[in-house]
């Protein structure tokens, strides 16, 4: 019985994460929730940080939709958007919150673009 309940909860969590990653607004809300927990943001900070993060998420989604960009340019653009977003968020933080935020940013992995998997050509059978 416990296994069924745990499986159901895990499935719900996985579905929630899937939808949050596809929706920039939900992803922004989750990121702000994490920042609120780690930095103890005030209500005013939460509102302004949510707006900044949401704008950054929309910009990233727009860049990812551009199929004309090479993978290197795409990754560079995403990192630039993230750096701009981080700088704007840092402006809204107090002096006590900034070192914690800088630590969080330094631990976050850089944006990368997955390389397509190339399958070897199959020989034609006569």
Q: pLDDT tens for residues 53-105?
A: 999 999 988 898 888 888 888 889 999 999 999 999 999 999 999 999 999 99
Q: Does 22 score more than 80 pLDDT?
A: no
Higher pLDDT, 46 or 12: 46
Q: What is the pTM (predicted TM-score) of this model?
A: 0.68
* Whole-number Cα distances in Å, 48 to 19, 26, 34, 44: 24, 16, 15, 6
Q: Whats the size of the chain, residue-wise?
A: 126
* Whole-number Cα distances in Å, 23 to 13, 14, 76: 16, 14, 22
Q: Over range 112-117, report the average pLDDT.
A: 55
Cβ atoms within 10 A of the Cβ of 54, count? 19
Sorting pLDDT into bands at 50, 70 and 90, what band is 110? confident
d(CA 87, CA 31): 15
What pLDDT shows up at residue 1?
75
Q: pLDDT tens for residues 25-56?
A: 788 888 889 999 999 999 999 999 999 999 99
What pLDDT shows up at residue 56?
93
């Amino acid at each position: 019985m416990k296994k069924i309940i745990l499986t159901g909860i895990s499935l719900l969590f996985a579905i929630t994460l899937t939808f949050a990653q596809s929706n920039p607004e939900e992803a922004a809300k989750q990121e702000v929730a994490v920042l609120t927990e780690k930095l103890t943001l005030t209500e005013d900070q939460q509102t302004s940080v949510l707006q900044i993060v949401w704008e950054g998420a929309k910009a990233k989604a727009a860049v990812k939709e551009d199929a004309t960009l090479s993978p290197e340019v795409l990754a560079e653009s995403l990192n630039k958007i993230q750096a701009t977003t981080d700088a704007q968020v840092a402006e809204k933080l107090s002096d006590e919150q900034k070192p914690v935020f800088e630590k969080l940013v330094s631990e976050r992995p850089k944006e990368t673009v997955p390389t397509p998997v190339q399958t070897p050509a199959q020989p034609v059978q006569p």
